[in-house]
Structure formats: C-alpha cells, structure tokens
Amino acid sequence: MAFAFFQIPPDASPELAAPLNAFLRSHRIVRVTRQWCEAGRESTWAFCVDFLEGGPPEAKAQGTTAKVDYKEVLPPEQFEVFARLRALRKTLAERDGQPVFAVLTNAQMAEIAQSGCRTLADLKAIPGIGESRAAKYGAEVLAVLGHSNTGGPA
C-alpha cells in the first residue's frame, strides 16, 4: 500500500481540489483520511490517501471501479479481525432484515481492524459510524474485538 498527501484551503476554488479528485479517480483507493489543520489564516484541510500501487482501477462493464481485496491490503492479524466483523455483519443484517452495507461497509470494517477500536467513542470516530450505529451495533462489534468496555455512554 502507498500513501499520497494533499492540502486544500477551506475557501478553495474547485480548481484547487482538482488534483485530489483526479488522483482519486485514477487509483485504487483503500481509504481517505481528512484532518483539519488549524493555523489561523493558513489553516487547511489535509488529506492522506491510502492506495494500491499498480495503476488505475479497471472499469467493469457497468462503469464501476474494481473492488478492494482486503486480504491483500490488510496484514494477516487485521484480516482475521475483518473476517470476524464480516461474519458478525452478516448475522446482524439477517437479524434486522437489511443489507449488510447498512450495518457496516467493508471500508468501515477495515478501519475498525486497522485502528484497534476499544470503545464506542473509537467506533464513532470512524466515518459513517455515528450515534445510531454505535448504539445499535457497538456492543456486539466490541465483543467480537474482545472488548466489553464501551467507554461510557453511546
């Protein structure tokens, strides 16, 4: 896996975001992390893009991009956590009668495996996992990770 970094000021014109957008379209992206860098008048958004080397994704017939193979991307111990989360996600989706991506996306499960979440607050720090998902699934996710401490209220 490789990394690329971009900075964009908060009042940037679309042209200043063009290099980041072009990069995202032309690479197999694993994760994008965004951080606000406070520096008074020089404050910016900083983006770290984790991507797979080897060129742009191949387009499929419907025009979608290739999927990330998390077994290639994650180290074995993190992929084991990812696999346990995937099994839990399937069980929860069947229980609640909804598609698996409504419980957790692959990217969210990979982020959980990589970050070593220990509390509900850790889970809520992952993009797309807010109060509702943390309250509904957090205890079960933490149990699969081997953590029963929720770190306070959801």
In this prediction, residue 30 carries a pLDDT of 84
Closest C-alpha among 115, 124, 113 to residue 151: 124
Beta bridge partners of 37: 44
151 within domain boundaries: no
In this prediction, residue 54 carries a pLDDT of 65
- Claim to verify: residue 139 and residue 74 sit in the same structural domain: yes
- Claim to verify: residue 38 and residue 83 sit in the same structural domain: no
Alpha carbon distances (Å) from 41 to 10, 11, 37, 92: 10, 11, 11, 46
88 within domain boundaries: yes
- Claim to verify: residue 86 and residue 117 sit in the same structural domain: yes
Q: Which helix (H) or strand (E) holds 96?
A: helix 76-96
Residues near 27 by beta carbon (within 8 Å), at least 6 away in sequence: 4, 49, 51, 52, 55, 56, 57
Per-residue pLDDT of the chain (154 residues; tens, 9 = 90+): 788 999 998 887 778 888 888 888 888 888 888 899 999 888 999 999 988 876 555 544 444 556 788 888 888 999 999 999 999 999 999 999 989 989 999 989 999 998 888 999 999 998 889 899 999 999 999 999 887 655 544 4
CA-angle at 120, arms to 117 and 122, nearest 5°: 40
- Claim to verify: residue 79 and residue 127 sit in the same structural domain: yes
- Claim to verify: residue 76 and residue 134 sit in the same structural domain: yes
129: left (phi over 0), alpha (psi -120 to 50) or beta: beta
pTM: 0.58
64 within domain boundaries: no
In this prediction, residue 86 carries a pLDDT of 94
Q: What is the spatial distance between Cα 7 and Cα 20, in angstroms, rounded to a whole number?
A: 9
Q: How many domains does the chain have?
A: 2
- Claim to verify: residue 120 and residue 74 sit in the same structural domain: yes
- Claim to verify: residue 45 and residue 105 sit in the same structural domain: no
- Claim to verify: residue 135 and residue 79 sit in the same structural domain: yes
- Claim to verify: residue 81 and residue 126 sit in the same structural domain: yes
- Claim to verify: residue 79 and residue 47 sit in the same structural domain: no
- Claim to verify: residue 85 and residue 33 sit in the same structural domain: no
Closest C-alpha among 97, 151, 145 to residue 122: 151
Query: Are β-strands 2-8 and 28-37 bridged in parallel, bridged antiparallel, or unpaired?
Result: unpaired
Domain membership of residue 134 as a residue range = 70-145
In this prediction, residue 27 carries a pLDDT of 82
8, 20 contact by CB (below 8 A):
yes
85 within domain boundaries: yes
109 within domain boundaries: yes
